[in-house]
């Protein structure tokens, strides 16, 4: 995804992936489908390096097609307008991809596209990655509709039908709703969560899998059928569930730890790839597991060949073993729409660490909120909690963005990246409260994760002193219980952030925390059982959540205020 000029990647031997899987995993862990899309998208030009010519880009796409054809794997080929009008790509896409593959739209805006719509091109090159010219957010809603109409008409004149899959690093809700309402697209995709990478910030969203977006904000999951666009957005690029979140922390922008074959530490690292796909195929995920493989042609075949040729046989072996379904983005979108009238709850679980540092993580996503748990050895904390509200309007909904950057965010209750420094990590930790009111963090390792129902995930971990903590995630709330035989044992969840961080909280009362986003959108969480205690200026914590009868229930639906 992110354009880097890398040396040739280290060669890999042909894998025999099935030998690395534990065949004794419970059948329940595989009861939900595990879906993988291979998405390669096509650019016509690469102005950042004169050595990357049209021929180099064309050959990269050709060789990607050959590799998928060798293993008879379906792929999704998303094409920019400037490449769409190139007869060489038209011929290739008609003659070389398999019958079970598809061609769709890649929604980066180029000079030929803009001029075909009767608009003036403002970019530095014929393709310019700056958000105010290279993405639909840089155009007015009326201009966006013209861009959609021109693309769809051209695509249909070439392929005889409209595309059903449209992907991009980000598509605004006006464009997406227009594509869905008028042209009936069935699937979309957007970038993984990141801060500042290439000037694009998407932060706090539905972490993985897919969601129905709000008609007011394509990055925000909707809570109702009336408020949603009826096309699922799948999260791209296969994020490292443990390490992607904190990658680049303290440096001002996120690094990349993903399945993209161009990155040496992750997608080009055989050990990482096997770990990542094993987690996706076998760990608890609730409704379904998902990831996306593939790479844009801008990285060139020289830089992705060895890693891509390592990944594809692994994917093929998983498919043949019945552990994953490899399908097109549109197939996944149709399945999602038939299965879920509203965004389902899903989970991403990684209870093994490929770096062997003892780290583990659990992500829970629903249409109301996301939450992340992280274990670093015996240390445990909530690393992230963001709320979702379909009424939170994007700044790009009604007008064009003028910045070269793009920012999409949701509603933070806990932001372990933005509210941390390298030496002071924000989080919500389980603490023991002494008689003097002082707190000591409780070690709580070796989590056990159980899918209790289609939308309910239970996490249990035990302290060395014997107390057992149970965290249960429901669609609209989470609960924390402590099982202890010590009647004098007092505990709480304690929130700390790095010093000097501006937090969004406007009021912390006994049963309510109210906060406000940067554009003054109000949101809150409610203690249905338990209470909030605000830290004094002399305290090291921001607030504590105190249980009643060893139980906490925190409502995250942003309705009860």
* pLDDT digit string, tens, across residues 300-337: 999 999 999 999 999 999 999 999 999 999 999 999 99
Residue 382 lies in a domain: yes
Same domain, 306 and 442: no
Average pLDDT for the chain: 92
Tokens standing for 10? 């280290």
For residue 504, which of 485, 493, 489, 520 has the smallest C-alpha distance? Answer: 520
Say if 525 falls within a structural domain: yes
- What DSSP line would sit under 373-408, residue for residue? EEEETTEEEEEEEEE--TT---TTSSS---SSSEEE
487: in domain: yes
Residue 339 and residue 366 share a domain: no
**Secondary structure in 3-state letters for 98-132:** CCCCEEEEECCCEHHHHHHCCCCCCCCCCECCCHH
Residues 434 and 383 reside in one and the same domain:
yes
For residue 560, the model assigns a pLDDT of 54
pLDDT for the residue numbered 452: 95
| pLDDT band with cut points at 50, 70 and 90 for residue 198 | confident
Give tens-digit pLDDT for 5-47. 334 333 333 333 333 434 444 444 447 999 999 999 999 999 9
Q: How do beta strands 411-415 and 477-483 pair?
A: unpaired
Cα(544)–Cα(495) distance, rounded to whole angstroms?
6
Domain that holds residue 435: 359-390+403-555
Mean pLDDT, rounded, for 204-227: 97
Any alpha helices (H) in 393-529, and if so which ranges?
none
Q: Is residue 398 part of a domain?
A: no
**Is the same domain home to 327 and 375?**
no
Using DSSP, state whether 348 is helix, strand or coil: strand
Q: Which 3-state string (H, E, C) describes 31-67?
A: CCCEEEEEEEEECCCCCCCCCCCHHHHHHHHHHHHHH
Q: Please, which pLDDT band fits residue 436 given cuts at 50, 70 and 90? A: confident
Say yes or no: 304 and 364 in one domain.
Answer: no
Reduced to 3 states (helix: H, G, I; strand: E, B; else coil), residue 285 is coil
For residue range 243-272, list pLDDT tens digits in order: 999 999 988 889 999 999 999 999 999 999
Let me know whether 152 and 228 are in one domain.
Answer: yes
CATH classification at residue 222: 3.20.20.510
Category of 161 on φ-ψ map: left (φ > 0), alpha (ψ -120 to 50) or beta? beta
Q: For residues 526 and 557, give the distance between their C-alpha atoms in angstroms, rounded to a whole number.
A: 9
Is residue 6 included in any domain, yes or no? no
Same domain flag for 415 and 534: yes
Give the separation between CA 25 and CA 349, rounded to whole angstroms. Answer: 14
pLDDT digits (tens, 9 = 90+) for 288-304: 999 999 999 999 999 99
Best CA proximity match to 545, nearest among 556, 558, 555, 534: 534
Is the model's pLDDT at 474 over the cut of 80? yes
> Are residues 73 and 40 part of one domain?
yes
Together in a domain, 373 and 332: no
Selection from 235, 246, 559 nearest residue 365 by Cα: 235
| 3-state SS, residue 190 | strand
Q: Does some domain include residue 429? A: yes
- Counting residues of the chain whose pLDDT is more than 70, the rounded percentage is 94
Within a domain: 12: no
* Local structure of 522: helix, strand or coil: strand
Most distant pair of Cα atoms in the chain: their distance: 77
Domains of the chain: total = 2
Tokens of 414: 């806990």
- Compute the average pLDDT of residues 410-439: 94
Give the residue-averaged pLDDT of 383-388. Answer: 98
**Is residue 338 located within the same domain as residue 368?**
no
Tens-digit pLDDT profile for residues 482-521: 999 888 899 999 999 999 999 999 999 999 999 999 888 9
- Cα 536 to Cα 541, 543, 544: the distances in Å are 8, 9, 11
In a domain, 354, yes or no: no
Are 339 and 363 in a shared domain?
no
Lowest-pLDDT range of 95-99, 358-362, 428-432: 95-99
Judgement on whether residues 286 and 385 belong to the same structural domain of the protein: no
């Amino acid at each position: 995804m992110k354009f880097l000029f890398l040396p040739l990647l280290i060669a890999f031997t042909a894998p025999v992936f099935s030998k690395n899987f534990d065949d004794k995993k419970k059948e329940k862990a595989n009861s939900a489908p595990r879906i993988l899309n291979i998405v390669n998208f096509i650019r016509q030009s690469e102005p950042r390096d004169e050595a990357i010519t049209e021929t180099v880009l064309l050959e990269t796409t050709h060789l990607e097609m050959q590799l998928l054809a060798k293993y008879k794997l379906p792929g999704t080929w998303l094409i920019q307008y400037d490449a769409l009008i190139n007869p060489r790509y038209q011929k290739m896409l008609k003659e070389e991809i398999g019958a079970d593959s598809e061609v769709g739209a890649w929604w980066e805006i180029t000079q030929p596209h803009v001029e075909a719509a009767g608009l003036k091109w403002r970019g530095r090159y014929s393709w310019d990655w700056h958000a105010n010219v290279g993405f639909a957010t840089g155009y007015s809603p009326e201009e966006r509709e013209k861009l959609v109409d021109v693309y769809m008409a051209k695509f249909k004149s070439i392929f005889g039908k409209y595309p059903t899959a449209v992907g991009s690093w980000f598509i605004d809700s006006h464009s997406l709703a227009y594509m869905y309402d008028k042209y009936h697209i069935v699937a979309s995709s957007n970038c993984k969560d990141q801060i500042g990478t290439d000037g694009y910030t998407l932060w706090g969203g539905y972490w993985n899998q897919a969601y129905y977006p709000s008609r007011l904000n394509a990055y925000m999951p909707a809570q109702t059928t009336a408020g949603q666009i009826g096309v699922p957005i799948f999260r791209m690029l296969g994020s490292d569930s443990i390490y992607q979140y904190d990658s680049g922390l303290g440096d001002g922008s996120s690094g990349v730890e993903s399945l993209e074959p161009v990155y040496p530490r992750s997608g080009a690292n055989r050990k990482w790839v096997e770990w990542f796909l094993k987690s996706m195929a076998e760990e608890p995920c609730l409704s379904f597991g998902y990831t996306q493989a593939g790479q844009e042609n801008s990285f060139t075949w020289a830089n992705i060949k060895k890693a891509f040729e390592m990944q594809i046989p692994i994917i093929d072996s998983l498919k043949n073993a019945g552990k994953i379904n490899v399908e097109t983005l549109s197939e996944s979108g149709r399945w999602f729409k038939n299965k879920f009238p509203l965004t389902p709850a899903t989970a991403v679980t990684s209870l093994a660490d490929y770096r062997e540092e003892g780290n583990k993580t659990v992500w829970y996503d629903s249409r109301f909120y996301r939450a992340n748990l992280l274990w670093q050895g015996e240390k445990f904390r909530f690393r992230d909690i963001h709320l979702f509200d379909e009424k939170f309007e994007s700044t790009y909904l009604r007008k064009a963005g003028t910045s070269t950057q793009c920012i999409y965010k949701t509603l933070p209750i806990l932001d372990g990246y933005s509210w941390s420094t390298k030496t002071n990590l924000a989080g919500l930790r389980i603490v023991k409260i002494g008689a003097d009111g002082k707190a000591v963090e409780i070690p709580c390792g070796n989590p056990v994760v159980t899918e209790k129902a289609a939308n309910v995930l239970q996490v249990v971990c035990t302290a060395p002193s014997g107390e057992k903590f149970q965290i249960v995630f429901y669609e609209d709330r989470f609960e924390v219980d402590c099982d202890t035989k010590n009647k004098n044992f007092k505990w709480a969840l304690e929130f700390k952030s790095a010093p000097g961080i501006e937090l969004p909280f406007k009021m912390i009362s006994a049963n309510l925390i109210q906060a406000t986003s940067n554009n003054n959108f109000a949101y809150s969480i409610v203690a249905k059982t338990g209470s909030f205690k605000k830290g004094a200026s002399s305290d090291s914590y921001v607030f504590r959540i105190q249980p009643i009868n060893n139980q906490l229930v925190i409502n995250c639906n942003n309705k009860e205020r």
